[in-house]
Amino acid sequence: MERAIDYKTHILIGVRANGVMTVIADWPYVPKQTEVQEQIDTSRNGYVTFVLCTPTSVMPAAAHGGEAGKGYGFRGQ
């Protein structure tokens, strides 16, 4: 992994009318509104909503059938 994903990471997601979501951009810091707006302005490919998110949980992926999500704030169990 080139850079760690942590609680400072911000992710811009585009949402289409049918609910399909796509990651448009990500930053390892809190981006300025102008940076976010630039990404939105250049990504108008049918998106009806844009969502700027920060992780509420960071979970490692399980390798070969391991137990991903255990102990990292995941509440879907």
Tens digits of per-residue pLDDT, 15-48?
999 999 999 999 999 999 999 999 999 987 889 9
Full residue range of the structural domain in which residue 31 is found: 10-53
What is the residue-averaged pLDDT of the chain?
Answer: 82
In a domain, 67, yes or no: no
Task: Name the domain count of the chain.
Answer: 1
- Single-letter amino acid code for the residue at 63: A
DSSP state letters, the chain: --S---TT-EEEEEEETTS-EEEEEEESS---HHHHHHHHHT--SSEEEEEEE--S---PPPSSS--TTTTTT----
What pLDDT is recorded for position 67?
Answer: 59
Question: Where residue 63 falls among pLDDT bands split at 50, 70, 90?
Answer: low
Could you tell me if residue 33 is inside a domain?
yes
**37: in domain:** yes
Q: Is residue 59 situated within a structural domain?
A: no
Whether the full predicted model's pTM is greater than 0.75, yes or no, is no
